[in-house]
Structure 1
């Protein structure tokens, strides 16, 4: 009888023959049932079925033969369930044994080998249930007879059927002999199945090789099931596993020379046998990988084993068990990796780094305090990278190398799923790891410098971010205990310094940001260290940091301000010590003076490097503005500490920058306003005419600005330099403090000079607006001082008001003329927008409602009508007049002001 032409017909035939077989069994016609069984088994001879189709058919056949096996068992009552006497039971068992023995011989005469062997196994396994049956002979016979099928697909499923049927029927007993026989039986079946599975790749034409590989993956579970059976059989007997099972399995792995087989069987061995078995045979498992096919992924095999052993330790810790950690586990892996690198020079950087990554995880899991293991692994990765010409030769390996340096544990991708407490704990562990590796593993730097700039920045930025987050949560976590540790930390950021010099790239900008964070991080860590518990030592550390950052070229524009800020912090600490420790006041004062010299040096370096000729003019201008403001801030700090000479020097440097490097008119005006604001708050410069000299110099520069409107505003702003106001933070109070620096004549001179500048403007609208601004300043002095001291009296204010009125009348004449023209053109009914005048003379439209956009739109002068321009000083003057009227109820002097 032949097989069907299609799967559907085969399934239909199997179901039909199964039904006929069951009917025959119900009527006790065993021979007819065997005939129908042989007929349905014929469908398994079809050589055209795909693995999935064959498996579907096999399941139907298995169920049908299970019914036949159940009948054979029940008909012979071989289960031992007999209510008669012992003699009767023995006789029944003997008769059943004889019957099944004869039947076992009979089915072997079936016409086709596939039906014959399936029936033989079915009857033979039923025979094994009879007490006293010759188990070993029957098992050996069935195993040997299966050799009759050499077709890979049919033979694989036949032996899988043998394995399933004999699952509970091997030789009984716990004796070594029984265990050895059972193991040999399963091993022999596994060997043959594996050979057939490997031979499947050679079926069909070469163009279908990929399809064959896919089919083999679908069938691999049949082979793996045999190893699972072996693991269940040996239980915890590691001796027989090491002596009988593992050598045979590994021999098959090596001999087959098949990549799919080698990778799969290694994976199965690692997964199904206990962890203790792997620890006992670790050296054997690893040494065998040296004999595998060159295309087999050794990294995948080793990482599978590593993951299993890591899980073993983690499970013990989770169960609060005493984890016995062998001291040689890492050494065994390390020896294997070293030998693998020597004997397999064909293994690329990707393969080696993959194994290194896994062993780093293993070392951190098994020996978290032993960072020398990490140093070895990183050193090997660096050596391999060098041997292959650097990471540039193999760009695909760069992410792996970054992982080696920047990912201390295998759960990095799960960080986002953690709660806050877990996140903090994770960051703390990561920071501790990073700090230990950086300060104790020289190979870390060796590997880091082999990466490209972008990868280096990525690694170091991640480390710095981790340090910063931990420092914010637990400030005392990171402690720099020695100069050597600090030098190692500084070596790590050197790649960032080089990348930071490329300011026009995203990498450069990220590098600069991280370097600034790093500076503040170091400064925050230093006070908690015994080595850097003094101001001198901390300043020494900051100078070391400065020397490293100096290599960043123009990048110091973004990094030096952080260093200067940290130096300011040390200056303030030193000032506190000066007050508290009486016996060392001179010492700390001199130390502060020296620190200010360091600050001056940093600012000077910034100017020399960043404020010279540059292709990027805006960058140079921004750096110049930064240098100017740093000088002003340093001067303010020195004045606060009553270091008048140092403050004067910083102000002088600021003026030098202003005179030599600030050429833009707008920048000059803003710089003078900043100077006036800073200078007006100083209190220690009133010796040796320091303050007067600086105030005169500021006013003089203001009067020399290019644009008249800038001159006007700068000079009336400088008038405040001659009229000090209270600073509550230092205990000053108006009316009680008698040491205010005030010279009313100079105030009036500044106001008069600014008025002359305003009056000389050709633009009548802007001139009138400036006069209103000067009027407001005059009212300020009129309120906050007497006429005898400020020299700004009612007469001067009335004269200024009259001058404003006169100018406004002339402007309103222009406004009326334009309105008449607008009416004549028919567009006089439109509502004109409202404008105000900005400090640079431009007009800014005021939003019409509170819901309008807060970003005012500046409009060019030519787009605004005279009518709208005139409204600016008019409305401003009206607000001022309203203020004066309101003040009359408070201050009687305002009664004499004529509006």
Structure 2
């Protein structure tokens, strides 16, 4: 079929080639329909004779077409029962034959055959289809030393066959991934985009089949496969994994599983080698980090001890993310920790010993976590988180802890927040949180209230001073605590607010004139 001749006769040769192909294809089809050609005759006579012709013709175009014809025209049952005979022919074909496509079609047909009825699955086990296909792929790759990496990876679509025929055999799936990793390791850096897409397809197949990342994490060679993706594709695959978890509401509930998961999605957690921030689209970056934040919120375990281990594991990973990622990933970690605090609320001493998880221990951990935002810098966010922690400590009746968080918030306000608008927002947050606190004694509350009033009186603009000082007046009159009702200071705040409001009114009249 590939006979070379004068260029002027190219069209004529193509026509003859097409006619010959149709003739051979029709003859094979007729052969498959003859009544006397049952499985025994096909196995003993027909297939060996046809394969002999295919191998001996030494013509790459003819070999590809004939092998494809055999797979297409004869029944799936015949292919399954003669699998070894058929596969033995593949390594004998010419090196330039597109074996990956033919083998992929064979595996696709067998996969569909297996999916058609549960009754045929015992046949696959009986003939050891996986072992034979796996062995044949190894021989083909060994025989065709010049096969491009894309072709070799395509052959490992055997994984799809396994997921259809033996979904319960994770060891088979892992074995296929391991063989693919071995081939990729011999190639060095993978720069072929088609090979990269095929690797992504292989990695996506178990996710689509099991809909459960916990099951996929049992495949030891899965993370090793991801190592061969370039940085950008690694992030894409990590996003696919997170989307799968979200879609299926998968519970990743133990520290070791979280460790494995965050190793898989490390392309989103930290900068991989060679990645520059200048090359990253801001909108894409925000979407990626928001997906990581949503993932952190999904991690949960009813056992406080294990949940605290999960939080520590997440913290270890996200702190490697650098200043640009921390404002996205620290808040969900803080709120996940506060959820655990609420679960343990009212627990003074843990009956399981000093090493067990207590609210005090979690708050200490939270303090250290929020401090990491100082280097970002993101003082407004840190201040908000400190106030959230103070409110949680209030609900747990931990006065010293709540006071410490307020102290940290005040230090941030004094030293790091200089923008006037940010100061206004921060002081109203402080006042609002302090107003909800009931855990403080007279001395601590008095100290914090006076500080807040002083900050309010020093705001840049008179209208802002007026509103903030007026809000502070409520801090001196707590309805449910008799010892927290100081009428003189309430009146003092109201007078100061009134004075500021008159100044504002005078300024407006002056500007109108």
Counterparts in 2 of 1:669 and 1:484: CA distance versus 1, 3 Å? closer
Counterparts in 2 of 1:652 and 1:504: CA distance versus 1, 3 Å? farther
How far off its partner does 1:234 sit? Answer: 6.0
> What aligned pairs does 1:506-585 form with structure 2 within 5 A after superposition?
506-523=283-300, 526-527=301-302, 533=303, 535-554=304-323, 555-575=325-345, 578=347, 584=351
Say if 2:457 is the partner of 1:703.
Answer: yes
Provide the TM-score with structure 1 as the length reference: 0.53
How far off its partner does 1:247 sit? Answer: 2.1
Counterparts in 2 of 1:811 and 1:556: CA distance versus 1, 3 Å? closer
Tell me the distance in 2 between the aligned counterparts of 1:583 and 1:599.
19
**Equivalent residue number for residue 181 of structure 2:** 382
**Equivalent residue number for residue 214 of structure 2:** 435
Assess if the C-alpha contact under 8 Å between 1:716 and 1:754 holds in 2. Answer: yes
Say if 2:62 is the partner of 1:285.
Answer: no
Say if 2:128 is the partner of 1:350.
Answer: no
Assess if the C-alpha contact under 8 Å between 1:673 and 1:714 holds in 2. Answer: yes
Which of residues 471, 487, 498 in structure 2 aligns to 1:717? Answer: 471
Tell me the distance in 2 between the aligned counterparts of 1:384 and 1:674.
59
Assess if the C-alpha contact under 8 Å between 2:370 and 2:382 holds in 1. Answer: yes
Q: Deviations over 1:829-859 (max 9, x none)?
A: xxxxxxxxxxxxxxxxxxxxxxxxxxxxxxx
How far off its partner does 1:355 sit? Answer: 1.4
Tell me the distance in 2 between the aligned counterparts of 1:606 and 1:211.
75
Q: What count of residue pairs does the alignment treat as equivalent?
A: 506
Assess if the C-alpha contact under 8 Å between 1:449 and 1:495 holds in 2. Answer: no
Counterparts in 2 of 1:222 and 1:739: CA distance versus 1, 3 Å? farther
How far off its partner does 1:340 sit? Answer: 2.0
Provide the TM-score with structure 2 as the length reference: 0.90
Tell me the distance in 1 between the aligned counterparts of 2:221 and 2:136.
20
Which of residues 452, 472, 476 in structure 1 aligns to 2:230? Answer: 452
**Equivalent residue number for residue 681 of structure 1:** 436
Which of residues 736, 744, 748 in structure 1 aligns to 2:491? Answer: 748
Q: CA-atom RMSD, angstroms?
A: 2.9
Assess if the C-alpha contact under 8 Å between 2:150 and 2:198 holds in 1. Answer: yes
How far off its partner does 1:586 sit? Answer: 10
> What aligned pairs does 1:183-198 form with structure 2 within 5 A after superposition?
198=1
**Equivalent residue number for residue 783 of structure 1:** none
Which of residues 104, 109, 129 in structure 2 aligns to 1:308? Answer: 109
Counterparts in 2 of 1:672 and 1:463: CA distance versus 1, 3 Å? same
Where 1:715 maps in the other structure, the secondary structure is helix
Q: Deviations over 1:515-553 (max 9, x none)?
A: 212212222xx22xxxxx3x1221012101110111111
Tell me the distance in 2 between the aligned counterparts of 1:484 and 1:701.
47
Tell me the distance in 2 between the aligned counterparts of 1:308 and 1:590.
55
Assess if the C-alpha contact under 8 Å between 1:499 and 1:507 holds in 2. Answer: no
Q: Deviations over 1:592-623 (max 9, x none)?
A: 11111111111012223x11xxxxxxxxxxx2
Which of residues 188, 197, 200 in structure 2 aligns to 1:399? Answer: 197
Q: Deviations over 1:341-367 (max 9, x none)?
A: 22212111211121112x011111111
Counterparts in 2 of 1:407 and 1:366: CA distance versus 1, 3 Å? closer
Which of residues 198, 206, 213 in structure 2 aligns to 1:408? Answer: 206
Tell me the distance in 2 between the aligned counterparts of 1:597 and 1:235.
82
Q: After alignment, is 627-636 or 266-275 more displaced?
A: 266-275
Tell me the distance in 2 between the aligned counterparts of 1:754 and 1:322.
83
Which of residues 325, 349, 364 in structure 2 aligns to 1:597? Answer: 364
How far off its partner does 1:724 sit? Answer: 3.1
Counterparts in 2 of 1:256 and 1:739: CA distance versus 1, 3 Å? farther
Tell me the distance in 1 between the aligned counterparts of 2:57 and 2:22.
17
**Equivalent residue number for residue 496 of structure 1:** 268
> What aligned pairs does 1:650-799 form with structure 2 within 5 A after superposition?
650-687=405-442, 689-724=443-478, 737=480, 739=482, 741-760=484-503, 764-765=507-508
Which of residues 456, 469, 472 in structure 1 aligns to 2:247? Answer: 469
Unaligned runs of 5+ in 2: none
Where 1:487 maps in the other structure, the secondary structure is helix
Tell me the distance in 2 between the aligned counterparts of 1:589 and 1:479.
22
**Equivalent residue number for residue 232 of structure 1:** 33
How far off its partner does 1:401 sit? Answer: 1.1
Q: After alignment, is 650-659 or 453-462 more displaced?
A: 453-462
Assess if the C-alpha contact under 8 Å between 1:316 and 1:323 holds in 2. Answer: no
Assess if the C-alpha contact under 8 Å between 1:575 and 1:592 holds in 2. Answer: yes
Where 2:124 maps in the other structure, the secondary structure is coil
Tell me the distance in 1 between the aligned counterparts of 2:11 and 2:424.
76
**Equivalent residue number for residue 244 of structure 1:** 45
Assess if the C-alpha contact under 8 Å between 2:68 and 2:102 holds in 1. Answer: yes
Assess if the C-alpha contact under 8 Å between 1:676 and 1:717 holds in 2. Answer: yes
Counterparts in 2 of 1:207 and 1:441: CA distance versus 1, 3 Å? farther
Tell me the distance in 1 between the aligned counterparts of 2:78 and 2:148.
31
Tell me the distance in 1 between the aligned counterparts of 2:265 and 2:139.
34
Assess if the C-alpha contact under 8 Å between 1:371 and 1:441 holds in 2. Answer: yes
Where 1:553 maps in the other structure, the secondary structure is coil
Tell me the distance in 1 between the aligned counterparts of 2:237 and 2:215.
16
Assess if the C-alpha contact under 8 Å between 2:297 and 2:332 holds in 1. Answer: yes
Assess if the C-alpha contact under 8 Å between 1:234 and 1:240 holds in 2. Answer: no
How far off its partner does 1:206 sit? Answer: 2.9
Tell me the distance in 1 between the aligned counterparts of 2:487 and 2:75.
95
Tell me the distance in 2 between the aligned counterparts of 1:589 and 1:759.
58
Tell me the distance in 1 between the aligned counterparts of 2:465 and 2:418.
15
**Equivalent residue number for residue 637 of structure 1:** 392
Counterparts in 2 of 1:236 and 1:744: CA distance versus 1, 3 Å? farther
Tell me the distance in 2 between the aligned counterparts of 1:437 and 1:466.
11
